[in-house]
Structure 1
């Protein structure tokens, strides 16, 4: 008997012998149509209308939950943890560690603390005078407010009012007043030193017999 040879015109693995499971298209995604108008499987960009609704509903619920959690955390932090009256970290735990700094006026140039002018030339010292006037204007506006909310002070603030502040009157600075141009036109310039507020810090009086005011040593340089 002879062995029948396979028909060369019909290969063993032909397109007809390969089954297409579920009629799924093997085309790449960029060759698929954006909109399929088939009556049974209407879809757009690979999803039906119901599929798109489920897809966006999932992310909508997810982001609503995240937004709700973030809003709740912000409310807890801003209303229950952080106070409007003082910082959250005070005292020795603060970055200043009970070491208050000094603010200085006038200081027209924040890159340097040098004060250089000529007493005979108003154009050189008037910027310093104006800077001090601007700084003291705030205290003048505060002094016209009612006494409520301020400590009752004479020369020394009462220990019972440690949580309140005294009113500061610029005329208490003696000759350092705006009527005298703060001494700049007489080669006796006035410099205002202000202690920065540090919560939880009270000054310790080293020597009560010297003065009720803090001691400050200043060394100037003239030419």
Structure 2
């Protein structure tokens, strides 16, 4: 037992001596000079790494343009989105339950506020339709901020929220707004032909959807709203919209709808990317 205690004391003493040796003035086996050299090495090493990182970031930032991306992976066809979005692109509501569609109406009201005619007249230009609104820079002189064309809310007619504050949801004739995602510099048409939106039901639901009305009446994104120059260069830009109104959709059943963009410059969407040049959503209107 005594030998065991002596062994424990010896081990404890060795550990204390390793941590701090009063004879050699070593801490954890190193003298103050040794610790100083190690700390100095790592200080210089990490300062060098930080300096390299800052230099790399500085050089990279010199290549960037505040108004236009230096590198841009151009999508063959931009995506599309709807408003109101609903839950996972599902627009389901009941005609007899006002609360079931009030959220859709509020979403549309909020989304269309920047499109109010009075606001558009103050901020944007009355452009010539069916031709691009080109605003190039003059050499090193920036033509910023760039102007934008008016897209007045009244152009959506029956889906503007003016003649019917419920956008048709209370009558079972809901409006759905469609927008094309922004891509800087994109030219979506040629020869004066604007890209066209068409909507149809999936094959098994073709007899449920009923007739549609498009607003503006031609259902196009007019060329005068392109090209888009970026959020910072074109601060007042408002995306063109196409509204689709379901005039006689079947009640108490799911209707799978797909809207596509048709253009003579944009490639048709592929099956690999279901959001390229198209958007799919489900519509269900209950009357109970």
Name the TM-score, length of structure 1 as normaliser. Answer: 0.66
Give the Cα–Cα distance (whole angstroms) in 1 for the partners of residues 45 and 101 of structure 2.
64
Q: 1:187 aligns with which of 172, 186, 197?
A: 172
Q: How does 1:145-164 map to 2 (within 5 A)?
A: 147=123, 152-153=126-127, 155-156=129-130, 158-161=132-135, 164=147
Pair 1:121 & 2:97 matched:
yes
Give the Cα–Cα distance (whole angstroms) in 2 for the partners of residues 206 and 216 of structure 1.
20
1:18 corresponds in structure 2 to none
CA contact (8 A) 1:152 1:158 kept: no
Q: Which of these two proteins has the greater Rg computed from alpha carbons?
A: 1
Q: 1:133 aligns with which of 109, 120, 131?
A: 109
Greater RCO (Cα-Cα under 8 Å, separation 6 or more):
2
Give the Cα–Cα distance (whole angstroms) in 1 for the partners of residues 169 and 67 of structure 2.
38
CA contact (8 A) 2:168 2:175 kept: yes
Q: CA deviation at 1:197?
A: 1.1
Higher mean C-alpha displacement, 59-68 vs 175-184 = 175-184
Change (3 A) 1:47 1:136: same
Which is strand-richer, 1 or 2?
A: 2
Q: CA deviation at 1:184?
A: 1.5
Give the Cα–Cα distance (whole angstroms) in 2 for the partners of residues 218 and 125 of structure 1.
23
CA deviations on 1:31-64 (whole Å, 9 max, x unpaired) are 74322223xx422222222221111011100000
Change (3 A) 1:153 1:43: same
Which is helix-richer, 1 or 2?
A: 1
CA deviations on 1:190-216 (whole Å, 9 max, x unpaired) are 1110010123320114774xxx67342
Give secondary structure in 2 for the equivalent of 1:47.
Answer: coil
Q: 1:217 aligns with which of 199, 208, 219?
A: 199
Change (3 A) 1:207 1:88: closer
Q: How does 1:103-114 map to 2 (within 5 A)?
A: 103-109=81-87, 111=88, 113-114=89-90
Q: CA deviation at 1:82?
A: 3.7
1:14 corresponds in structure 2 to none
Q: 1:197 aligns with which of 179, 182, 187?
A: 182
Pair 1:60 & 2:38 matched:
no
Unaligned runs of 5+ in 1: 1-28
Give the Cα–Cα distance (whole angstroms) in 2 for the partners of residues 124 and 47 of structure 1.
74
Change (3 A) 1:151 1:58: farther
Change (3 A) 1:133 1:31: same
Change (3 A) 1:182 1:141: same
Matched length = 181
1:178 corresponds in structure 2 to 161
